[in-house]
Chain A
Amino acid sequence: MLSKIFASIAVAITGSILLYGVSDFPAFGDPNSPASAGVPGSESVSLYFIEESYKDTKVPNLVTSVLADYRGYDTMFETVVIFAAGMAIFAILRVVGNDGEEKRATSLEDSFTNGDHSRIIVGTTVRIVVPVIQLFALYVIAHGHHSPGGGFQGGVILGASFIIIALSENLNAALRRLSEQNYVRLAAIGILIYAAFGVMAQILGKNFLDYGVLEPLLFTDGPEMARSHSMLGVEVGVAFTVTAIMFAIYANLSSRGQLEKGL
């Protein structure tokens, strides 16, 4: 009872602080506010993105060009945040020193065919559906600068396809396809790919993540196409990290850090 009173007081204080913060917002329909930028005469940078980003980068999807090029530094550290989240889950939950790896090697045959017959329908359906999901995920990653999508979304879908395998059979079936060693490596490689695009631009004499200068390395005609192709490369890096971390979080949460059996 006492804890409920304290919780109510905490909620009331937080709510009043939030309401106080709302009073600092720009007025509704204010042309200078960031939300209504793009209205001619506003001071925001958004109008520049809307008008010039296709000429600068040859990327039709405005969101991706802002996310991966103009604000590439932001996106890189968002990816690092996801990596850090995965490492935190690993540090808190993972129980080291079991013999799960050995059991996984010996139980290669234990998938849906023998034993648990109630899972046959689910297992078969998942086996048909998973390749389609993964193909769609790759399309979302690779087509992210022409249509909605990109590294984050495609990575989550790709990670979800491994989670679906773990749900339909057991965690070991998914870990045989993407083992713990491999997903930790994949997560680190993703960030390294992203950072490599930045460092290569630095080596060629421009700022970190200034992709236009990568033109001779990517064999493109003009710095615009170099920026477009570098965005694709960066999205692939993001997708690696997100895929690995999404599956890592599920694997550790569902098995209490044992990486055995799962749900």
Chain B
Amino acid sequence: MIFALDIIILVFLVIAALIALSVKDLLSASMIFGIYGFLICLLWAEMGAVDVAFTEASVGAGVSTVLLIATVYNTRRHSSD
């Protein structure tokens, strides 16, 4: 566990979370959510929880991003009502 690395990853994590919330485009929001998942994975790996980091890398950063994009692809830009 390296304290400086912890701080750097956490700062990027907060930045990624804020951007994912504030960005208007759903596709970019889901991509940034994938980056957020990968940063959490890095944080866990750096803390020594390698099994959890592995799960987060495959589920959070990998498949769930694909599922979100698959859902975004099926939406329209403007709501019909």
Contacts and interface: CB of A to CB of B under 8 A. Distances in A.
Interface of A: 61, 63-64, 140, 148-150, 152-153, 156-157, 159-160, 163, 167, 246, 249-250, 253-254, 256, 263
A159 B50 contact: no
B55 A152 contact: yes
Question: What 9 A-B pairs come out closest when comparing CB atoms?
Answer: A254-B70, A148-B50, A156-B58, A63-B51, A253-B70, A148-B51, A153-B54, A148-B54, A153-B58
Nearest to B69: A263
A103 B55 CA distance: 37
A156 B55 CA distance: 9
Nearest to A147: B50
A163 B66 contact: yes
B17 interface: no
Given A148-B51, A153-B58, A254-B73, 20 more contacts: A63-B51, A64-B51, A148-B50, A148-B53, A148-B54, A149-B51, A149-B54, A152-B55, A153-B51, A159-B63, A160-B58, A160-B62, A250-B63, A250-B67, A250-B70, A253-B74, A254-B70, A254-B74, A263-B70, A263-B73
Contacts of A150: 51
Q: Is the interface of B mostly helix, strand, loop or mixed?
A: helix
B62 A156 contact: yes
Contacts of B13: none
A63 B62 CA distance: 22
Contacts, number: 48
Contact of B71 (A149, A153, A253): A253
B55 A153 contact: yes
Contacts of B66: 160, 163, 167, 250
Contact of B59 (A156, A167, A256, A263): A156
A154 to B, nearest CB: 9
Contacts of A253: 67, 70-71, 74
B75 to A, nearest CB: 11
A191 B6 CA distance: 39
B68 to A, nearest CB: 9
A150 B66 CA distance: 22
B74 A256 contact: yes
22 contacts: A61-B51, A64-B51, A148-B50, A149-B54, A152-B55, A153-B58, A156-B55, A156-B58, A156-B59, A156-B62, A156-B63, A160-B63, A163-B63, A167-B66, A250-B66, A250-B67, A250-B70, A253-B67, A253-B70, A253-B71, A254-B70, A263-B70
A163 B69 CA distance: 12
Nearest to B59: A156
